[in-house]
Amino acid sequence: MVQALERVRPDSSQPVIRDSVALLKHATAECPNLGDAWYYRSVLERKLGNTRLADYSLEKATQVGSEAMRQQLDPFKLAAPPSTVPLGPVRQKWALVVGIGQFKDRYINRNPLKYTKGDAKALANLLTNPKVGRFNPANVQVLTDSQATTRAIKEDLNWLAREAGPDDLVVIYISTHGTSREMDTRDVNYLVTYDTEIVSPSPQQDDQDQLHYQDRLYASALPMVDVANEVANRLSARRVAIILDTCFSGAAVAGDSQRTAPGLTYSSVSSATLNRMRQGTGRVILAASQGNQESLEDSVLAHGYFTYYLLQGLQQNQGMDSLAKIFPYVQEQVSSRARAHNHEQTPVLAVSDQGAQIVLGAVPAGTAAASP
């Protein structure tokens, strides 16, 4: 189902839609009670003009239940469609900030992240600083470690979709482990949440877990496409910044080298997912690294490289520079520090129409600017 949703866009051709329907048919055959797959089958079949098949799939979704149906999600409709109308003043600003360094699963926790929690808190503090970020503290939700379950993150993504209006600005920051596409049977990137499971809590189940870790991953982690669809199809705000300080590493969640599945390599979030997130008006995505690169941490900085230099960049000009203007500084500083330690890390920027104009420190309409 996730792989199908990665493919579908508002301008998808009929062959692409038919391929996605085939994937959804496979999903419902494997898991007949997967209501969202039935619902999306109905949406795609209707797009192809197959009314009878669409009605049948919708009936099945109604029988087994579907959250996507309840929310009336439509992958062909953008929440903030492309527009030539200039962006007006920012009305309100909202943020979800997630940093996970400790994990419930014992094998994921063999590779704890030292500074992700601190990175998240530092960014939240900067956003709520009245002289830099100028966010209302009540509009900034922070989830760290045990707070950052898959359910909690999805609930707060829904909170953003419910509260943020077209003239608002939204920031989504996530710092955690991620999984390579090769780690899933259907080539899907996942964000590793606090309660993501790779193995059973019982050590006696280790041998069996090695065979079925993909099932546990699917059931408990957060697919990147869920975040992408939230941004593309549900966030009506015409200014959305997605910041990912995440290393998509199979080794990071597989435990020690003897428990790493064959062929797992470091890989960045897929271009399909990035393209999905930047559809529409006013989207900007900053990712910490390119494909086959780690997102590095530094004990001297007491931060991840990417977040540290992002924080430095955001403080320039009291937060009033656009993310597009700040990015070259962040990219150069991160790359230089990584090379100095014999590593490669190159941050990535992706923007939609008018996304380059997003300024995190913008003063909300009706709010007096803080004095320097």
Q: What angle do CA 85, 90, 92 make, to 5 degrees?
A: 135
The residue extents of the domains of the chain are: 2-70, 93-357
Count of other CB atoms within 10 angstroms of residue 203: 9
Quote the CA–CA distance of 98 and 176 in Å, as a whole number.
8
pLDDT of residue 24: 96
Instruction: Name the phi and psi angles at 289, rounded to 5.
Output: -155, 165
Quote the CA–CA distance of 242 and 352 in Å, as a whole number.
12
pLDDT of residue 272: 63
Contacts 24+ apart (CB under 8 A), 306-311: 306/245, 306/330, 306/334, 306/345, 306/347, 307/115, 307/119, 307/122, 307/123, 307/175, 307/245, 308/119, 309/333, 309/334, 309/337, 310/123, 310/243, 310/286, 311/122, 311/123, 311/126
- Selection from 351, 254, 243 nearest residue 304 by Cα: 243
Class of domain 93-357: alpha beta
Output the pTM of the full model: 0.85
**Which residues have a Cβ under 8 Å from the Cβ of 83 and sit 6 or more positions away?**
238, 281, 353
pLDDT of residue 5: 84
pLDDT in tens, the chain (372 residues): 877 887 888 888 999 999 999 999 999 998 999 999 999 999 999 999 999 999 999 999 999 999 889 888 898 988 888 888 888 999 999 999 999 999 998 888 887 889 999 999 999 999 999 999 999 999 999 999 999 999 999 999 999 999 999 999 999 999 998 776 544 344 467 889 999 988 766 555 554 445 466 777 778 889 888 888 888 888 999 999 999 998 754 333 333 333 333 222 334 556 666 666 777 889 999 989 876 677 889 999 999 999 999 999 999 999 999 999 999 999 999 999 999 999 999 998 888 888 888 999 999 986 755 433
pLDDT of residue 342: 94
pLDDT of residue 291: 63
pLDDT of residue 310: 97
Cβ-contact 205, 215 below 8 angstroms: no
Quote the CA–CA distance of 254 and 260 in Å, as a whole number.
5
Cβ-contact 282, 289 below 8 angstroms: no
pLDDT of residue 259: 33
Q: Where are the beta strands (DSSP E) in 74-158?
A: 93-99, 140-144
Q: Tell the burial category of 51 from Cβ atoms under 10 Å away from its Cβ (0-12, 13-18, 19+).
A: exposed
The fold adopted by the segment(s) 2-70 is 1.25.40
Q: Which one-letter DSSP state was computed for residue 366? A: T
SS3 letters across 61-93: HHHHCCHHHHCCCCCCCCCCCCCCCCCCCCCCE
Structure tokens at 336: 């230089």
